[in-house]
Amino acid sequence: WNSKEVMVVRKISTQQWTEPTHGTAYQVNDNLGDGVVVYHGNASGYNDLNLTSSTIYNYKLYSINNSYYSSGAELSASTQSKNNDHFRSFAEGDWTTLG
């Protein structure tokens, strides 16, 4: 809002939150307790990639005003099991064969 930035912190659901320190500027990949800053900017969307399968992640979104942070909004998401991932390849010469 009003050209302010947002910071997104991700942690595994069993880990604890550590709140950001007011007046401290954080960048992507900075650790924040058990969490890690995965986004810092003002885009309207973000895709979090390279996650571990079968894992529940918690996210906390903070609005930022001159390195001062809101109380944050929490959400969670889970990744599917890699055992459910199926790919088809032409290695067998047949696109209908799972490989």
Q: Is 30 exposed, middle or buried (0-12, 13-18, 19+ CB in 10 A)?
A: middle
pLDDT in tens, the chain (99 residues): 567 899 999 999 999 999 999 999 999 999 999 999 999 998 888 889 888 888 999 999 999 999 999 999 999 998 887 676 655 555 666 656 655
pTM over 0.85: no
* Residue 51, C-beta contacts closer than 8 angstroms, at least 6 positions apart: 57, 79
